[in-house]
C-alpha cells in the first residue's frame, strides 16, 4: 500500500509517500480501501512526536484517525458489513494510506448523499462537537459561547446547539461572520475587549462555552460562565483540570457517527470543505491546518 508517513517526528516536511506492507484484518476487523481522510490538529501533534494513549510507538508512523472508503476484506466474525460496502469511520492512526484495518465496530455505512471528501473529514468534527454539546448539557433556552466557531468542530457545535434550541454566540474573524450567521449563530470578533462585546450581546449572561482556540478564549469563557463545569476546552487540556473546565471524553461510537451522518444526509447538518489535497501532499495539508485559521475542513484525497 501507499501511505503518507514519517520515520522521525518533526515539521510537516517529514511526511513523505512510502510503500508499506498491506495490512491484513484479524478477527472482528475490516480492511478499508481509503478514498479520503480528514486532516486535523491531532494528526499534526502525532507528526510532531505525540503518541496517542494506548499506541505502541513504532516507525514509520502513519497519521490520520478519520476516513472514508470501501471495505475490501473482512476478518473472521464480522457480520455487520461486507466486502464492497461504502463506509466512513474512525481510529487513532493510519488513515493517510490506501489501506487501513480497523475494528468493524468503528465503521458505519456512508450515506449515498455524502460525497467522499465530506465523508473522509466528517467523523472527528461531528463526533467531537456532539460529545462536547452533550458533556456540557446544552439545552433549549441556554446561551452558548463557541470559540473558533468557523472551524470543523465549531461549525458542527454551532449547528447542534441551535438544533437543541440554544442561542449561540460565536467568535470568529470578521470574514467568517456571514458564514457563522448562516449556521444560526450571532458572530462576535476576537481580540481585546471580547468579554465586553459578549456581555453586550447577552447582558443576562452566558450559560455554557466551548473553547476551540485556547489561551484568552478559555479565560474569557471562565470569566463569563458561572458554572465552570459547563466550560469545555478542545485545545487547552493542560489548564482545564486546574481551572475546573472540562475536556471532551473518549466517547466516539458507531451509533453516534451513524446518527450524525443521517443528519447530514437529510440536510439537517452542513459540512464546509475548505480544501482537498492529494495524499502525496499531506505535508501541505498539515501546513495549512497548523496556521490555525480557515473555515471548515482540510481533507486528503487518496
The helix or strand, by DSSP H or E, that contains position 74, with its residue range, turns out to be strand 66-74
The CA distance from 172 to 189, in Å, is 5
pLDDT of residue 292: 80
Over residues 245-264, the mean pLDDT reads: 96
Banded model confidence at residue 8, pLDDT cuts 50, 70, 90: very high
Q: How confident is the model at residue 7 (pLDDT cuts 50, 70, 90)?
A: very high
Flag whether 132 is in a domain.
no
Using 50, 70 and 90 to split pLDDT, how confident is the model at 253?
Answer: very high
DSSP character at residue 208: E
37 inside domain: yes
The whole-angstrom separation of Cα 161 and Cα 131 is: 11
Greater pLDDT, 191 or 169: 169
256 with 235, same domain: the answer is no
Same domain, 156 and 120: no
* 131 domain-assigned: no
What does the pLDDT average to over 172-179? Answer: 94
Least confident residue range of 8-17, 243-252, 275-284, 289-298: 289-298
CATH assignment of the domain containing 276: 3.90.180.10
pLDDT given for residue 214 in this prediction = 85
Beta pairing partners, 19:
2
Residue 203 lies in a domain: yes
Task: Tell me the per-residue pLDDT of 39-70, one tens digit each, with 9 for 90 and over.
Answer: 999 999 999 999 998 898 899 999 999 999 99
pTM above 0.85, yes or no: yes
Residues 251-268, mean pLDDT to the nearest whole number:
97
CB of 1 closer than 8 Å to CB of 28 = no
Judgement on whether residues 98 and 207 belong to the same structural domain of the protein: no
Assigned C-alpha cell, 226: 458561572
Same domain, 16 and 73: yes
- Averaged over 215-223, what is the pLDDT? 94
252-259: long-range contacts, CB 8 A cutoff, minimum separation 24: 252/90, 252/123, 252/127, 252/131, 254/89, 254/105, 254/106, 254/107, 254/108, 256/127, 256/130, 256/131, 257/88, 257/89, 257/90, 257/108, 257/123, 257/126, 257/127, 258/108, 258/109
pLDDT in tens, 116-135: 999 999 999 999 999 999 99
Q: What is the CATH number of the domain that holds 193?
A: 3.40.50.720
Give 95's pLDDT tier (boundaries 50, 70, 90).
very high
Angstrom distance (rounded) from CA 302 to CA 279: 5
Res. 293: pLDDT tops 80: no
Same-domain pairing of 119 and 71: yes
Q: Mark whether 207 and 156 lie in a shared domain.
A: yes
In a domain? residue 264: yes
Do both 162 and 224 map to the same domain?
Answer: yes
Residues 88, 28 share a domain: yes
Instruction: Give which of 26, 34, 94 is closest to 60, Cα–Cα.
Output: 94
Compute the average pLDDT of residues 254-268. Answer: 98
120 plus 258 within the same structural domain: yes
Chain mean pLDDT for the chain: 96
Assign 238 a pLDDT band (cuts: 50, 70, 90). confident
How many whole angstroms separate alpha carbon 182 and alpha carbon 80?
A: 38
Number of independent structural domains in the chain:
2
Task: Give the pLDDT confidence score for residue 183 in this predicted structure.
Answer: 97
Which among 214, 243, 272 is the end of a domain? 243
Residue 165: pLDDT band with limits 50, 70, 90: very high
The residue-averaged pLDDT of 261-265 equals 98
Q: What is the pLDDT of residue 57?
A: 86
Q: Is 92 part of a structural domain of the chain?
A: yes
Asked whether residue 236 falls in the same domain as residue 274, the answer is no
Range of the domain at 269: 2-124+252-301
- Determine the pLDDT at residue 132: 98
DSSP secondary structure letters along 111-160: PTTS-HHHHHHHHHHHHHHHHHHHHTT--TT-EEEEESTTBHHHHHHHHH
| 234 and 258 part of one domain | no
Confidence of residue 184 (pLDDT cuts 50, 70, 90): very high
Considering the domain architecture, whether residues 90 and 107 belong to the same structural domain is answered as yes
Amino acid at each position: 500500500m501507499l501511505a503518507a508517513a514519517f520515520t522521525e517526528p518533526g515539521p510537516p516536511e517529514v511526511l513523505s509517500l512510502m510503500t508499506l506492507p498491506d495490512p491484513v484484518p484479524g478477527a472482528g476487523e475490516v480492511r478499508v480501501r481509503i478514498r479520503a481522510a480528514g486532516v486535523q490538529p491531532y494528526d499534526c501533534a502525532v507528526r510532531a512526536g505525540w503518541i496517542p494513549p494506548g499506541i505502541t510507538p513504532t516507525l514509520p508512523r502513519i497519521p490520520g484517525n478519520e476516513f472514508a472508503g470501501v471495505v475490501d476484506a473482512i476478518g473472521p466474525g464480522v457480520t455487520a458489513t461486507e466486502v464492497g460496502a461504502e463506509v466512513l469511520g474512525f481510529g487513532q492512526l493510519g488513515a493517510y494510506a490506501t489501506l487501513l484495518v480497523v475494528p468493524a465496530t468503528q465503521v458505519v455505512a456512508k450515506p449515498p448523499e455524502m460525497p467522499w471528501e465530506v465523508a473522509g473529514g466528517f467523523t472527528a468534527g461531528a463526533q467531537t462537537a456532539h460529545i462536547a454539546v452533550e458533556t456540557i448539557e446544552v439545552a433549549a433556552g441556554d446561551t452558548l459561547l463557541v470559540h473558533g466557531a468557523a472551524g470543523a468542530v465549531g461549525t458542527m457545535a454551532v449547528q447542534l446547539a441551535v438544533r437543541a434550541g440554544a442561542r449561540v454566540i460565536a467568535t470568529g474573524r470578521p470574514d467568517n461572520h456571514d458564514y457563522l450567521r448562516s449556521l444560526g449563530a450571532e458572530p462576535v470578533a476576537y481580540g481585546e475587549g471580547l468579554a465586553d462585546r459578549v456581555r453586550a450581546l447577552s447582558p443576562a449572561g452566558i450559560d455554557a462555552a466551548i473553547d476551540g482556540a485556547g489561551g484568552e478564549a478559555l479565560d474569557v469563557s471562565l470569566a463569563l460562565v458561572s458554572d465552570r463545569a459547563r466550560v469545555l476546552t478542545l485545545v487547552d487540556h493542560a489548564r482545564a483540570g486546574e481551572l475546573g473546565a472540562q475536556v471532551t471524553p473518549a466517547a466516539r461510537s458507531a451509533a453516534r457517527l451513524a446518527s450524525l451522518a443521517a443528519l447530514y444526509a437529510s440536510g439537517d447538518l452542513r459540512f464546509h470543505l475548505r480544501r482537498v489535497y492529494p495524499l502525496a501532499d499531506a505535508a501541505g495539508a498539515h501546513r495549512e491546518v497548523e496556521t490555525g485559521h480557515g473555515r471548515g475542513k482540510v481533507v486528503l484525497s487518496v
